[in-house]
Amino acid sequence: MFNRATRTTVGVLGSAIDALSWQDALERITLWAATYESRYVCACNAHSLVTASLDPSFREIINSADMAVPDGMPIAWSLCKMGFPRQERINGPDLMLRLCAGAAERDLSVFFYGSSPRTLAKLQTNLGAWLPKLADETIEDPGWATPEEALAKRLEGRQEQALADATEDVQRHVYLAPDGRYRMRFCRGAAIAGWSEMAQTTVSVAHAGRPCLLVVAKQEEIVRPELRASLARDLGDRLTTVEIDCGHMVYWDAFDETAAALRGFFG
């Protein structure tokens, strides 16, 4: 597995730029995707590096990246002058297209964030025409015809204890979209950050000196085997695991079972 220790970087105007081939870049990013690792890559041109040289916070973003490729011939030429004569320009648009092609071949999902809905729609259409297999994996939110339909969907398969919370949830967060359908409001940035954190390598809690209760929703795959193994290794008999046959919102889907687990744990 690639990590920071295997990287070869060169300082250009104070920013660490990776010296690597197209093949290395594509293989490394694809490996991260296939193993569900949370990483980020910067495609750096001359403008971004000049900006980074003047803005320490922006420079820190580049230097903290898991990969910073030389997007722009001046950056590639700089690496050639600094001991890497075969360095190619690895530009962002082509990198994205090649990664999408690789994702289609390997059945990996892609997610586009940023820009405007119109631009993202065009991108999705064009990529779908070029990579039909990738387009087949597209997930769209159909929304609901009415708020009542949204509430009914939120309550589907759930116990009556969920009614009050689900009603408040719909009243506060369901909105009327421009296409006339009702959808759940959410912060895309927060969602991406949250799921990315869940994809991170499990953090050790061996230093924790207290008992821990892990409630596992068996109908979801949020609690990964790696996490359970890590907690068991770090906590030993201080770890209590309770499995409940429900969705991830355990206090909605299995209120009584969750309450019983908490009562049993706290005595």
| Same structural domain, 216 and 260 | yes
Give the residue, 68 or 112, on which the prediction is more confident: 68
26 and 79 in a common domain:
yes
What's the CA gap between 253 and 245, in Å, rounded?
A: 9
d(CA 147, CA 183): 9
The range of the structural domain enclosing residue 215 comes to: 198-266
Q: pLDDT (tens digit, 9 = 90+) per residue, 206-236?
A: 888 889 999 999 988 888 888 899 999 999 9
- Does residue 12 share a domain with residue 100? yes
- Give per-residue pLDDT as tens, 185-197: 876 666 666 766 6
Average pLDDT of span 133-146: 72
100 and 125 assigned to the same domain: no
Residues 38 and 73 grouped into a single domain = yes
- Which carries the bigger pLDDT value, residue 137 or residue 264? 264
Comparing 58-62, 78-82, 96-100, 187-191, which segment has the lowest mean pLDDT? 187-191
pTM above 0.75, yes or no: no
Domain end among 159, 185, 211: 185
**One domain, residues 77 and 104:** yes
Same domain? 25 vs 99 = yes
Q: Which residues contact 37 (CB under 8 A, 6 or more apart)?
A: 31, 199, 200, 201
Assess whether 127 and 100 both reside in one domain.
no
pLDDT value of residue 2? 38
Domain co-membership, 162 together with 225: no
Q: Tokens at residue 215, please?
A: 């409630």
Q: How many domains does the chain have?
A: 4
pLDDT at 204 over 90: no
H-type helices in the chain, by residue range? 22-34, 46-54, 56-63, 73-81, 92-106, 117-130, 132-136, 147-155, 162-173, 188-199, 225-235, 250-253, 255-266
Q: 55-64, 135-144, 167-176, 202-211: which range is least confident on average?
A: 135-144
Structural domain includes residue 248: yes
